[in-house]
Amino acid sequence: MTEHELIGLATAADRDAFLAGLGKDGPVSRGRYLDGTPIWLVTGYAESVAALTDPRFSSDLAKQSKLDVAGAAGLPEDVAPYLMHTLGAYDPPDHTRLRRLVSRAFTPRRVEGLRPRIQEIVDELLDGFEGQVDLVERFAYPLPIQVICGLLGVPLRDRDIWRVWAADLTAPDLDRIAAGARGLVAYMARLIDDKRSHGADDLLSALVRVQEDDGDRLSDEELIAMSISILIAGHETTVGLISQSVRLLLTHPDLLSALRENLDAVPAAVEEFLRYTGPAEVAVMRYTLEPVELGGTTIPAGEAVQVVYAVANRDSRRFDGPDLLDLARADNPHLGFGHGIHYCLGAALARAETQIALRSLLHRFPGLALAVPADEIGWQPGMKRALTALPVRV
């Protein structure tokens, strides 16, 4: 059995080819993380669902007798807690408590109420389009940034400051990850102090008030970590989803034409984009609390387990024609936003932003086309699927 090294995903020029190779040794196989740490890779769909829902697979590093919180991911002690104390790195009951504190900001009703504002931002961004533009820099990035900054209460003027730190968090380099984390922690700590003195009608101010109430409390580490994770997750996934969706449409002209003729089919198309090439390719690391049999393989207790969404979403045992981009696919329970209790909190918001973005682009720019050959469009290095740029003619 081959030991697949995930550093290959972080640096692969052809991500699809690398991912396809991960599943060749069966639904559960051996691998190594970025720093060479031995891990188990789960690439089968049924096995991934099982690992994401079975409480014997823990997301909480503090429960691991063989691992310490700071050292488990190869991170320095001063930043590890802030990267570990996120929703994705907790088990119930702590996960239940923390998710309850922030979930009301992302309810379907709240998201539906944001649609008019999202449309306004989309229209403002597209009004400036002329000739050739980079769709990532001019559209896919600023749209979710404006939405999440407004929702969370982060000054939009600071986006270029923390954007570099945020990018470092997904770099294939633990030193860069640590540097990015330090910058974000210091920035968010200052912003939280300001919210304590000058609260506003935003999610961050609400979390600060929760911390000061007598009921459910957030520690300082939890508050900073939660704010960072919402800020990062609230825009990165959507940047990738919008830009990759447009890339796929512009490289499949028959699908582009059909979707332009039937804009009501955009929501189903977005679900297929999430399955076919979703921006979140791997899940948060999990650890076995006891020996677990999965996919015919017994994983011992205390082992690191990495679910690979991108491969599970192409599992032929679950999806008919998994390598076919089918925008009318009816049976599509993809793992693009995860599964189980750690299902992406902002999934409804990402869907709304992407649906509005695609509808508006297709409606306003019937001549939209790539401005460079498709093979010149590259991926950013790292553990997420993100384009370096997407030059288009409008």
Q: Which CATH number is 305's domain given?
A: 1.10.630.10
d(CA 384, CA 283): 10
Instruction: Give 326's Cβ-side CA count (13 Å radius).
Output: 12
pTM of the model: 0.90
Rounded CA-CA distance 102/188 in Å is 17
Q: Residue 69: what pLDDT? A: 38
- Dist. CA 274–CA 310, nearest whole Å: 9
Residue 37 tokens, joined: 């740490």
Contact status, residue 148 vs residue 239, Cβ threshold 8 Å: no
Q: Identify the H or E element spanning 370.
A: strand 369-370
The answer to whether the CB of 301 falls within 8 A of the CB of 362 is no
Got the DSSP string for 85-150? SSGGG--TTHHHHHHHHHHGGG-HHHHHHHHHHHHHHHHHHHHT--SEEEHIIIIITHHHHHHHHH
Angle separating helix axes 108-127 and 142-152, nearest 10 degrees: 140
| Helices 266-277 and 347-364, axial angle in degrees (round to 10) | 120
Q: What local confidence, expressed as pLDDT, does residue 215 receive?
A: 56
Instruction: Give the separation between CA 210 and CA 217, rounded to whole angstroms.
Output: 6
Its domain, for residue 190, covers 4-393
Q: How many domains is the chain built from?
A: 1
Q: Report d(CA 210, CA 93) in Å as an integer.
A: 18
Over its length of 394 residues, how does the chain's per-residue pLDDT go in tens digits? 567 888 787 777 788 888 888 888 899 999 988 778 899 999 999 999 999 999 999 988 667 644 443 444 556 777 777 776 677 777 888 888 888 878 877 888 888 889 999 999 999 999 989 999 999 999 999 999 999 999 899 998 998 888 888 878 777 677 888 888 899 999 999 999 999 988 888 888 888 887 655 456 677 888 888 888 888 887 888 999 999 999 999 999 999 999 999 999 999 999 999 999 999 999 988 999 999 999 999 999 999 999 999 999 999 999 999 999 999 999 999 999 999 998 998 899 999 999 999 999 999 999 999 999 999 998 887 777 889 999 999 9
Distance between CA 117 and CA 143 in Å, rounded? 11
- Of 233, 225, 222, 223, the C-alpha closest to 196 is 223
* DSSP H or E stretch at residue 299: strand 297-299
Q: SS3 for 286?
A: strand
